[in-house]
Amino acid sequence: MARRLVSRDARRRLCDGSRSVFTMSSDDESSFYSDLQTEDGTFKFLVNGIWRVSDSGLTLGNVRPADANAPGFEFQACTTGEVDEAFHAARNAHKLWAKTPLHKRASLLHEVARLMRAHCEPMASALVTEIAKPQKDATTEVTRSADLIDYAAEEGVRSLGVGQLLTSDSWTGANRDKLCLVSKVPIGVVLCIPPFNYPINLCVSKIAPALIAGNAVVIKPPTQGTVAGLHAAECFRKALQKCGAPAGLVNVVTGRGSEIGDYLTTHPLANLVSFTGGDTGLQVAKKTGMVPLQMELGGKGT
């Protein structure tokens, strides 16, 4: 699949004849997602609750696989400095979110799920455009993702609300005269890297468990699937606003994996890396050092 970097000025000269191709939704839906794009139709990235244009002045394009790989959407080519901003926003948000009661975290996730169901069409249409997913399957992915968010909220309340008592004689040489309470605590900032084939479902399957556990996230969506992921992120952003949660809990940076991928996975503020993909995961594992990893490398992973 062809990928290209385009300067902002060049994009403005090229976009007028093709922008109408991507009319994906009704006026109401377009209004809900209106903050995602610039005037020329390029998609922004998200840091600390604000949709932004990259200081790089460059954009990255994907393709439409069902249309002979014709040009698809344009989105920001983020700099390493903007990656830093995303991680700092997430770290600051995590400090507040970790102290938030479980029931409030769950309420936030239920609001995200509600918004995803109510504003499903643009996300589904982006899946059709970016990865050639049939319309019915694309819609199912969005609604199934909302179901998964609800499940993470409910299961999180059940599992995280329970501690465990251990007796002191579990260890050799100790007597049964003490009790130890074991409970789960947030890990910090989770880097989420979903794959192209399920860019919404396998993204929220990382975000929702992280948030209910008191963590914040930085997301690097796949090039093919970026715009669908950005639409999902807007549902999280608006839920954060409505529920009064820290704006930096969900951040999304876009760009070539070959240019910012290593910087993301080796970032000193990444406390856990959640990656779904193929053999690239092996390279991620080698470079992340002692940071905890959660990986699904698929049937072809070794």
pLDDT tens per residue across all 302 residues of the chain: 444 565 555 555 444 434 333 444 555 677 999 999 999 999 999 999 999 999 999 999 999 999 999 999 999 999 999 999 999 999 999 999 999 999 999 999 999 999 999 999 999 999 999 999 999 999 999 999 999 999 999 999 999 998 888 888 887 888 999 888 888 999 999 999 999 999 999 999 999 999 999 999 999 999 999 999 999 999 999 999 999 999 999 999 999 888 899 999 999 999 999 999 888 888 898 888 889 999 998 765 44
Helix/strand number for the chain, H first, E second = 10, 12
- Please report where in the chains the tokens 């005269």 appear, as a residue: 177
**Please, are residues 276 and 193 in contact by the beta-carbon 8 Å criterion?**
yes
- The C-alpha atoms of residue 222 and residue 272 are separated, in whole angstroms, by 19
Partners of 190 in beta bridges = 217, 272
- What global pTM score does this model have? 0.88
Class of domain 80-296: alpha beta
Q: Which residues pair with 272 in a beta bridge?
A: 190
Give the start-to-end residue ranges of the domains of the chain.
Answer: 80-296
Q: 15 by DSSP, 3-state: which?
A: helix
